Structure 1
Amino acid sequence: MAQELDAPLLVRRASDLQSKWIGECEKNIARAFHEARQDGAVLLIDEVDSFLQDRRGAQRSWEVSQVNEMLTQMEAFDGVFIASTNLMQGLDQAALRRFDLKVKLDWLRPAQAWELLQRHCAQAGLAAPGPQEQARLAQLRQLAPGDFAAVLRQARFKPLPDAAALVAALEAECALKEGGRGVLGFV
């Protein structure tokens, strides 16, 4: 998006903004928005749930003040602000009202998963997957691009001999997820 807008991208993660000192996190949040405003940058805060947790569950005053600071900065910011999270259900309701657009990146559809499998097999020098791998892949309902990335990182330690092994590793990744089929131990 920043590239399309011909604007710099300013990325901040929880480790950039959090502090062990009370009040410092709020200052870091304000500083990030100020830098983005000053530079005309698109501001991306990754894993924003660290700063926008539902205040009704807060136990300490600083938990509330961090959310309040983030909400205040979001409200006053006239630039492009992008927030990412995997835990949308835990966000403060007031935060959700402050986002003009909400985009949910859902699980891969079978055709998308098949295309990714073919691409990764070709990149890894594996023979093209066949109908059996396609059928097994179509059964995975909680498959994300990150699962492919995790499996390919694992292949650095235990190389994948063929497409069937890649699909088996993807099945194992999906089984670890909440609502996934089966339980796996460490392999």
Structure 2
Amino acid sequence: LGQNRLQALPEFYSPDLANTNMPLDELLTGLRNHGEARLCFYGPPGTGKTAFGHWLAIQLGKPLLTRRASDLISPYVGMTEQNFARAFEQATDDDAVLLLDEVDSFLQDRRKARHSWEVSAVNEMLTQMESYRGLFIASTNLMENLDEASLRRFDLKINFDYLGAEQITNLLRRYLRQMGLKKPDSLKLARLLRQSCLTPGDFALVARRARFQPFTNANQVVDALLAESSLKTATTMRAIGFAEW
């Protein structure tokens, strides 16, 4: 299990590359002093929510138990609730950090439920959250869909946002060094920092592409990142400043 945790971390991973609304080093210190907590990580896909959960488990010296919605939600009556109970029971037995991804799929607002099993599933999850005595992390891209009662049960709700200018510059420098490429044109870099809403996941995707379709210069890498950014909705685009190379 420990080996799997290490493999799950992206290349060049550092919590400094997560753009959050609170200092993550302070969170780690607090969890070392008091390991029982319920945390909600929310924000756009690829911003490092799950990766930070893996990193936390490693720093705390605990195994990590990860479950996605597809692992837990069942079409059979009562089975989803049983799956929730098993996940928390296994985490307790293993003294593990429990990370549930895509929780908006099963912690949705009960007022919008169309079936009784949706309500009972949320009720079971809330009960398990209340009784769990370890570190529980819920990850979601759709914070607005979560049930209000579940939001009140989280000790901290941490927003993982798009990368800031210094973080983009830092990651770009690391990947270009790995690819053996020099820095891009200043205008290209300025456009990347000014117009894009990038995540660590975008950099990882472009790096994977380079393995079978190598880039010949840094400008091509920037263009690939801009192309990934352009796929995101226009409403998320915002100026994020400029950083020195």
Normalised TM-score (structure 2): 0.69
1:110 paired residue among 165, 189, 201: 165
Q: CA deviation at 1:153?
A: 2.8
Q: Would you say how many aligned residue pairs link Structure 1 and Structure 2?
A: 181
Q: CA deviation at 1:42?
A: 0.9
Letter in 1 for 2:216: P
Cα pair 2:196 2:226 within 8 Å, conserved:
no
Are residue 140 (structure 1) and residue 140 (structure 2) matched?
A: no
Match of 2:68 in 1: 13
Q: CA deviation at 1:59?
A: 0.8
Query: Aligned-pair RMSD on alpha carbons?
Result: 1.7
Match of 1:171 in 2: 226
Letter in 2 for 1:158: Q
Q: Which runs of 5+ in 1 are unaligned?
A: 182-187
Residue range with higher mean Cα deviation, 104-113 or 119-128: 119-128
CA distance in 2, matches of 1:21, 1:27: 10
Letter in 1 for 2:123: N
2:111 paired residue among 18, 37, 56: 56
Higher RCO (CA 8 Å, separation ≥ 6 residues): 2
Residue range with higher mean Cα deviation, 149-158 or 50-59: 149-158
Q: CA deviation at 1:141?
A: 4.1
Cα pair 1:121 1:129 within 8 Å, conserved:
no
Match of 2:15 in 1: none
CA distance in 2, matches of 1:119, 1:161: 16
Q: CA deviation at 1:127?
A: 2.1
Higher strand fraction (1 or 2): 2
CA distance in 2, matches of 1:86, 1:113: 21
Q: Which runs of 5+ in 2 are unaligned?
A: 1-55, 238-245
Letter in 1 for 2:152: R
1:24 paired residue among 40, 59, 79: 79
Match of 2:57 in 1: 2
Are residue 72 (structure 1) and residue 141 (structure 2) matched?
A: no
CA distance in 1, matches of 2:103, 2:62: 21
Which structure has the greater CA radius of gyration? 1
Match of 1:35 in 2: 90
- Aligned-pair identity in percent equals 57
Normalised TM-score (structure 1): 0.89
CA distance in 2, matches of 1:87, 1:74: 19
Cα pair 2:184 2:222 within 8 Å, conserved:
no
Q: CA deviation at 1:156?
A: 4.2
**Partner deviation per Cα, 1:122-151 (whole Å, 9 max, x = no partner):** 112222334223212111342111111222
Q: CA deviation at 1:32?
A: 0.4
Cα pair 1:118 1:129 within 8 Å, conserved:
no
**Partner deviation per Cα, 1:23-47 (whole Å, 9 max, x = no partner):** 1111001100011112211111111
